[in-house]
Structure 1
Amino acid sequence: MTRALFLAHTAAPSGAEIALHRLVRSMRDTDVTVAFTEYGPMVERVRADGIDTVVVDGSFDSRTVTIGGLSPARVLRGVTGLVRLGWEVGRVARERGADVLVAESTKALLMGTVASRRAGIPLVWHSHDRISAEYFGTVLSAVLRLLGRVVCAGFVANSVSTLDSLPARRRPSVVAYPGIDPTGRSPLRRAQAEPDRTVLCLVARLTPWKGHVVLLDALARMTTRPERVYLVGGTFFGEEPYREELEARAATLDVPVLFTGHVDDPTEYMRRSDVLVHCTLTAEPFGQVIVEGMLAGCAVVASGPGGPAEIVRDGVDGLLVPSGDPAVLAAALDRLVADRGLRARLAEAAPARAAEFDVAESARAVEDFLARIVGRPAPVRALPGSESQSEGESRVG
């Protein structure tokens, strides 16, 4: 059995960490350890599922290394801290007898570079982000791709779009979509409401790139007003001023907008809603919340670039719109709110599509891939929707 150590730089309940939790608790043929470099809610959630979990150092502040806005001295201190933590992670990997180390973020990649060298094991980069200039900037994205090319034995990506942004050419790689567990879950929601009783929701962390401003601007342009809008999600990493900005904008609208704050399980808000809105400013790497909204029986409208275009079949089980365009989003929402029949048709098709993104399949794909990286035999499984790609690469979904 392969022994894998998964390394996460934060224990905040954000998308990548939630996806990691779902993945590792679905693994059946791998001895898993999850290492966090700070203490937070995800530590106890992972431990509660009986997974070996360790906090390497509870003093790390992930905000000391961010994409921009910090002084060179603070960045240097942050990078030094990552290297030091990487050395400690290497010690944990050796103590656990890990065969492979899986880095769950770009910061984890930096730490994992040090840790894997100390432990003498291969490093796999599980990327939940598109490594592109639009998100990381031209220089940093180039540096990250170079680092990945030099130090990584393989790549796991959360979408084809993400994989295409990685330096995975001629390296083992696999696409494993962040999955859901569809068993025992049904929409269990009300029928689509009349136009003037329609409820919208946007489920995302309150951070600018998630596009809350685009939705608020679209609401101001709509001719068919929904009854209410839920903005489901909290702030992390010093983003409270952004929430205040959103609240001020929402107060100018003639549509009630409810800010729920962080909720562990947003399913109930989705079930109260007729339409789930996804409107990121840049290409979403995957879009777990889209799958969750579809499973909950919402009609979905999503920004098309990136992962959402791999989930939503436009006009069949949702609608796709360009990113960052309030006018186009307003037109799509007007169409959905006014046409109850269209909403009902999309919502009826959505759960079956969502069920295709089964976490059990993704877990098997990752387990087989890690076994391959460490030179162990793994059963060959033909997963639904998988297809053979170029040499050294497989894609699952």
Structure 2
Amino acid sequence: MTTALFVAHTAAPSGAELATLRLVSALRDQGRLGVAMVYTEDGPMVERMRARGVETRVLRGRFDSRAMTIGSGPLRLVTGFAGLLRLGWSLGATARELGAHVVVAESSKALVMGAVAARRARVPLVWQVHDRLARDYFGRLPTLVLRLLGRLFSRGYLANSRTTLATLPVGRRPALVAYPGVELGPDLPRRDQRPPADTVVAVVGRLSPWKGQDVLLRALAATKVRPRQVFLIGGTFFDEEPYRAELERLARDLALPVTFTGHVDDPAEYLRDTDILVHSSVLPEPFGQVVVEGMHAGCAVIASTPGGPAEIVQPGVDGLLVPGGDERQLTTALDTLIGDPALRTELATAARTRAKDFDITETAHTVATFLYDIAQRNGAAGTPHSAERAPHG
């Protein structure tokens, strides 16, 4: 059987890592592709992956996943890069030990490690890209470097949306849009949409300036009817703790009924009690997993554009779209939904149907085929699980 080795630089439960957990789990459950996972540090995702029955290793090395964050100084970047190269050499040995036929890098840092590991193990490298490879996110120089690394070492690309794919230096290399599928499960019962004055609004995501939680708070302060409760669901990572303090001050100054939940492993319980889910990113979102999760939970959704949410939400049918960072238009959309529970119900009902288009099982089917084909081109594919055919989508 063809085996894919997935590599992540962090074991913190952020959006990309949770998407990887769902994908690798679904691939394992389908049984068409052997899978294994490697992290460069211990953390919550290690035990979660192992709990799903996935072979999971932790590479021990002198590398701090925060050493190469956006905005790091030159010395930290050089030190971090050297650490990634060392880990990549060790990763190559692990890939050979596990009999991997293809290495899948789950981040830009994993790409650096994977380039070394794939060469040592003599297998192809696929870069699964969770972020737009653009200057407004990475900065000019890192974007140029990552484009070059991808072009030199990647034998294929997995992109989490058409928006992300458009930023990649694909050239003639194989590329697939593989939406970060959601583990939908059954449609659970939920309460009816509340009257305007009792409305509950939520935003789900890491507390980070580009996620635009401050934009949402200012937009809410200008609504004709303020909601009864606002949930900011998400923790802080990568030295962004000061932003939470800024949001707390803003909520107090605007006298908004905001609850900060911190990181929540599974926000489904909050979403089932939420009337309106707002996605408020000020930069184009690569995909927007929380949009799908909110739709599946039966929320009326407002999401920002451009970016991945425009590939999910059909405006006026199963949600509303507004330009990212535009407080006035966000306030208008909030006024529209807060003041009209019947419209909320109509959009939320259609949203539950639309969410089914993003089931993780469908994504896993197409990814299994893609990775098998990449390994086959390299002459590294093992015997498929089914002798009659390769995995198909």
Please tell me whether residue 42 in structure 1 is matched to residue 48 in structure 2: no
Alpha carbons 2:155, 2:374 under 8 Å: kept: yes
Gaps of 5+ in 2: none
The question of whether the paired residues in 2 share the 8 Å contact of 1:5 and 1:32 is answered with yes
Give the letter for the 2:152 counterpart: V
Q: Which residue of 1 aligns with 2:4?
A: 4
CA offsets 1:214-262 (integer angstroms, 9 cap, x no match): 1011112111211110000111122211111100000112330000011
Q: Verify the 8 A CA contact 1:187 1:297 in the aligned structure 2.
A: no
In 1, the alpha carbon distance for the partners of 2:340 and 2:373 equals 50
Q: Deviation of residue 140 (structure 1)?
A: 1.7
Deviations 1:91-140 (A, max 9, x none): 10011111110000000001111111111110000000110111011222
Q: Does the 8 A contact of 2:69 with 2:238 survive in 1? A: no
Aligned match of 1:109: 111
Structure 2 match to 1:120 = 122
Give the equivalent residue in structure 2 for 1:262.
263
Q: Is residue 192 from structure 1 mapped to residue 174 from structure 2 by the alignment?
A: no
1:380 Cα deviation from its structure 2 partner:
7.0
In the TM superposition, residue 85 of structure 1 has moved relative to its aligned partner by 0.8
Shift of 1:201: 0.1
2:286 partner SS: coil
- TM-score normalised to structure 1 length: 0.93
* Structure 2 equivalent of residue 65 of structure 1: 68
CA distance, structure 2, for counterparts of residue 78 and residue 379 of structure 1? 39
Take 1:268 and 1:231, find their aligned partners in 2: how far apart are those partners?
Answer: 14
Return the letter of the residue paired with 1:13: P
Show CA shifts across 1:11-40 (max 9, x none): 000000000000011112111110000111
Matched to 1:42, the amino acid is: M
Which residue type is aligned with residue 172 of structure 1? P
Q: Which amino acid aligns with 2:101?
A: D
Deviation at residue 59 of structure 1 after TM alignment? 4.7
Is 1:311 the counterpart of 2:312? The answer is yes
| Counterpart position of 2:82 | 80
Distance 1:180 1:99 in 2: 26
- The CA distance in 2 between the partners of 1:316 and 1:274, in whole Å, is 17
SS in structure 2 opposite 1:5?
Answer: strand
- Give the corresponding residue for 2:146: 144
Letter in 1 for 2:337: L
Cα drift, residue 145 of structure 1: 1.2
1:58 positional shift: 6.0
- Code of the aligned partner of 2:17: E
Matches within 5 A, 1:171-190: 171-183=173-185, 185-190=186-191
Give the % identical residues. Answer: 57
Q: Which residue of 1 aligns with 2:374?
A: 373
Cross-structure match for 2:23: 23
Residue 219, structure 1, aligned to residue 220, structure 2: yes
Instruction: Confirm or deny: 8 A CA contact 2:11 2:41 kept in the other structure.
Output: yes
1:358 aligns with 359
Alignment partner of 1:355: what SS? helix
SS at 2:7's partner residue? strand
Report the TM-score, using the length of structure 2 for normalisation.
0.94
- What SS is found at the alignment partner of 1:324? coil
- Measure, in 2, the Cα distance between the counterparts of 1:380 and 1:230: 42
**SS at the partner of 1:26?**
helix
Amino acid in the other structure paired with 2:176: V
Deviations 1:257-306 (A, max 9, x none): 00001110001111111000001010000000000000000000000211
1:210 aligns with 2:211: yes
Q: Is the 8 A contact 2:372 2:390 kept in 1?
A: no
Q: What is the SS of the residue equivalent to 1:64?
A: coil
Runs of 4+ in 1 over 2 A off after TM superposition: 376-381
Aligned-partner SS, 1:225: coil
Q: Tell me, what secondary structure is at the counterpart of 1:113?
A: helix
Partner amino acid, structure 2, of 1:7: V
Counterpart secondary structure, 1:313: coil
- AA aligned opposite 1:47: R
Number of residue equivalences = 380
Could you tell me which amino acid in structure 1 is paired with residue 173 of structure 2? R
Correspondence for 1:337: 338
Any gaps of 5 or more consecutive residues in structure 1? Answer: 384-397
Partner amino acid for 1:127?
A: V
